Structure 1
Amino acid sequence: MRALKLSRSRNRRSFLLAGLFGTALATALLFPSLSLTAQARTVVDMSGTPVEIKDTPAFIADLWFAHNEILVMLGAADKIRVTAEKPADRPWLFKIAPVLLKAETGVHAETVNPEDLLSRHIDLVIVPQRGQADALRKLGLPTLHAQYTTVPQMLQSIDMTADALSTSHAHDVARAYRQKMDTLTSLLQSRVSRLPASARPRVLHIAALNPLQIDGQNTMIDTWIKTAGGENAATVSGNHRPTTFEQIATWNPDIIILGATAGEVDPSSPLRFLPAFQQRKWARNPQGVFPWDRYGCEELLQLEWAAKLFHPAEFADLDMRQDVRTFYHSFFHYALTEEDITRILAAQPPARTP
């Protein structure tokens, strides 16, 4: 599939129709069966924009990496026809939802060919950025901006997706997930609030080792660090911020967490001389269907894992392995083996990849 940038595609016939006669007329001319039979509803996306979409969409293009597992969780894996994900990058995703192997994979919002989506009769597109959503909607594609940076926003995005899917199952799962998240965050808050400020470790999350990048404040990473009873050692804002060893040494974190795909710390790396490494107060972040530490719905597991890492005595009663098993069974309808759980907690792919 040849990728076209949105800004260069207006010389196409369908885009001329959209410009001259309006989005609705262009879509009707291209695909009359869609416009005559589809009943539309309005869903408000994460930017607050009301979006008219087909009632119970059947063909979805999910172009935000973190959102695909949300669709799977809400029971819409078989509706995904185009995805940003690839089996080589997310083997657990394609293992628990093998129907995704039939989808067009590796399609990004930045370079997607809108005409290809129209030809596939895509009736719902998910993207991470508001500008991307605005551009695709102008071309006749019902598109929702779904990105979030906090837990409350994530819950809002999940509810928005359930509204878009318009199935009782999706709404039931969204409510169950919200209840689980509310219960866990309440538990964490009740125990963490009793700790003095001096007991909250300063945590540095390393997103990549080469080049060296960290995750700062005003991010989902910052949210789970603080909710789990830590403080972000990084004083910068944003994801994947470039930094130096000297800066990390100045921050001198109490705990270091390596992202699942950050790479391996070389034996000669100066990072190994930091107190956190010397005292073995570092860990590799788990990764399952999506990296727990970033923006997927496994945030529920990430919060528990982080709390046990930061405060092992206070959260000794939480059974991480059992809760991973229960989460996958409840929300992905997938039965993990003991080996599966061990590999996910170690950020390893399945023993047998899809």
Structure 2
Amino acid sequence: MEFRRLYVLFTVILLCILVTSVCAGTDSLKQSGSTHTITDMAGAEVTIPTSITKVVNLWPASNSVMLCMGAGDLLAGTMDITKQNYWSQLVYPNIVNVPTVSDNAEELMKINPDLIITPSKETAEKLRGLGLPAVYLYFSDYDSMKKAFTLLGDILGGDYVNKAKKWSDLVDSQTTTVKSSIGDISESDRPVVYYIQGQTNQGLYTTFAAKSIMNDWISIAGGEFASKKLELDKNGAVTPEAILSLNPDIIIIGGFAEHDLYNELMNSSEWKDIKAVKNNRVYINPNGLFPWERFGMESALQIPFAASVIHPDLFKVNLVDEVKKFYTDFVGIDLTDKQAQYMIDGYGPNGEEYKNTGSSHPHS
């Protein structure tokens, strides 16, 4: 009998401990579960809701990332360039109804977002000073994209965490595959690649600086970036004398004005004797939710594309299949072969051509 009483007493005490622990755990989740503190890319600590449902995104590049992650329904404020993009409209048809916003605090307070994303440290600080949950999120190459997408995935939570990790793994695997295919090419044997920046039509002599993502994918793909050879230290114009005397082997044109620029280049008497033109090695860069060659999730596909045009004898790829698989895995939609080819050719999903539209946004 004594044993039975002790056994019952022990069981009751154990149950009380378990119940108390569960209740305490639940209270803890309520306290810390409604908000949490994250550290943005400037090192600022920002308190935001644990469950994010309304995001204002003040940068076209990171708007494209959210759409590529399948997070379009979280956008409560976006940019005109995102709304005008034909691929944005395919991926998230309601994008045309999302308000176009700026960093105007009064306007943002009316939206009352859970999160504001900006590529400007100053804007983030200004908005936080007014009580708005602004985070600095900026990326300009593959390494900073890995960090930024990981942070964005952690902020949004759920499957977005997995997609960010999957994207980083894809970039690594694409890089490994390309490098193993083309082998170790000496600098002297690397074809010189000139990139024309065509977000808007600023002519044939606008490019990116030597230290940019263009150098990243050109180098991975076994080329030599013209801006590196010319030691350009900032984005913008290069002199005609400099680039024409360099006589690039390959020219890649990107951005919304790429087709206009291509036609301009191919009809220019000034360029007709350049090796890239004479040898028919002028290429339009693929253009999806964002230009592949710039910064966005589709930039993972830029690596095999670049290798296929810089070293077509060494690297073969079925880009249509690559595009379709990427969109299934990340965006969650199945593209047709025709749609994938349109993207590769720099058009919209129904063959639409961008009529020299683009953004003058400093970070676009």
TM-score (norm 1): 0.82
Match of 1:247, SS state, is helix
Q: CA deviation at 1:125?
A: 0.8
Q: Which amino acid aligns with 2:136?
A: H
In the alignment, what sits opposite 1:157? 148
In the alignment, what sits opposite 2:37? 42
In the alignment, what sits opposite 2:328? 329
CA distance in 1, matches of 2:315, 2:248: 21
CA distance in 2, matches of 1:330, 1:78: 18
Q: Report which stretch shifted further, 266-275 or 304-313.
A: 266-275
* 1:186–1:116 CA distance, 2 compared to 1 (3 A): same
> What is the total number of aligned residue pairs between the two structures?
311
* 1:274–1:141 CA distance, 2 compared to 1 (3 A): same
In the alignment, what sits opposite 1:136? 127
State whether structure 2 residue 87 is matched by structure 1 residue 92: yes
CA distance in 2, matches of 1:120, 1:88: 18
Q: CA deviation at 1:158?
A: 0.3
Runs of 4+ in 1 over 4 A off after TM superposition: none
* 1:37–1:237 CA distance, 2 compared to 1 (3 A): same
State whether structure 2 residue 234 is matched by structure 1 residue 238: yes
Instruction: Show CA shifts across 1:111-131 (max 9, x none).
Output: x31111111111211111222
Q: CA deviation at 1:95?
A: 1.1
In the alignment, what sits opposite 1:200? 190
The structure whose Rg is larger is: 2
Q: Which amino acid aligns with 1:150?
A: D
State whether structure 2 residue 210 is matched by structure 1 residue 217: yes
Among residues 156, 164, 187, which one is paired with 1:174 in the alignment? 164
Q: Which amino acid aligns with 1:116?
A: E
Q: Is the 8 A contact 1:218 1:237 kept in 2?
A: yes
CA distance in 2, matches of 1:249, 1:260: 22
Instruction: Show CA shifts across 1:62-118 (max 9, x none).
Output: 11111112212333210101112446641111211113222113x34xxx3111111
User: Percent of counterpart pairs with the same letter?
Assistant: 29
CA distance in 2, matches of 1:246, 1:190: 36
Q: Is the 8 A contact 1:81 1:102 kept in 2?
A: no
Q: CA deviation at 1:196?
A: 2.8
State whether structure 2 residue 59 is matched by structure 1 residue 64: yes
Q: Report which stretch shifted further, 188-197 or 228-237.
A: 188-197
In the alignment, what sits opposite 1:32? none
Any gaps of 5 or more consecutive residues in structure 1?
1-35
* 1:272–1:138 CA distance, 2 compared to 1 (3 A): farther
Among residues 78, 84, 95, which one is paired with 1:83 in the alignment? 78
Q: Is the 8 A contact 1:94 1:100 kept in 2?
A: yes
Paired residues for 1:283-322 under 5 Å: 283-316=283-316, 318-322=317-321
Q: Which amino acid aligns with 2:178?
A: L
CA distance in 2, matches of 1:210, 1:195: 33
State whether structure 2 residue 117 is matched by structure 1 residue 126: yes
Match of 1:272, SS state, is coil
CA distance in 2, matches of 1:216, 1:37: 45
Match of 1:172, SS state, is helix
Q: Is the 8 A contact 1:286 1:346 kept in 2?
A: yes
* 1:88–1:123 CA distance, 2 compared to 1 (3 A): closer
Q: Which amino acid aligns with 2:273?
A: F
Aligned-pair Cα RMSD in Å: 2.1
Match of 1:348, SS state, is coil
Paired residues for 1:2-17 under 5 Å: none
Paired residues for 1:178-189 under 5 Å: 178-189=168-179
CA distance in 2, matches of 1:221, 1:104: 32
Q: CA deviation at 1:193?
A: 4.3
Match of 1:205, SS state, is strand
Q: Is the 8 A contact 1:96 1:334 kept in 2?
A: yes
Any gaps of 5 or more consecutive residues in structure 2?
1-30, 353-364
CA distance in 2, matches of 1:94, 1:187: 32
* 1:152–1:37 CA distance, 2 compared to 1 (3 A): closer
Paired residues for 1:251-266 under 5 Å: 251-262=246-257, 263-264=260-261, 265-266=263-264
CA distance in 1, matches of 2:144, 2:158: 22
Instruction: Show CA shifts across 1:162-202 (max 9, x none).
Output: 1111x221111112212212211122233344223333211
* 1:61–1:70 CA distance, 2 compared to 1 (3 A): same
Match of 1:349, SS state, is coil
* 1:44–1:193 CA distance, 2 compared to 1 (3 A): farther
Q: CA deviation at 1:259?
A: 1.1
* 1:89–1:253 CA distance, 2 compared to 1 (3 A): farther
CA distance in 2, matches of 1:79, 1:136: 20
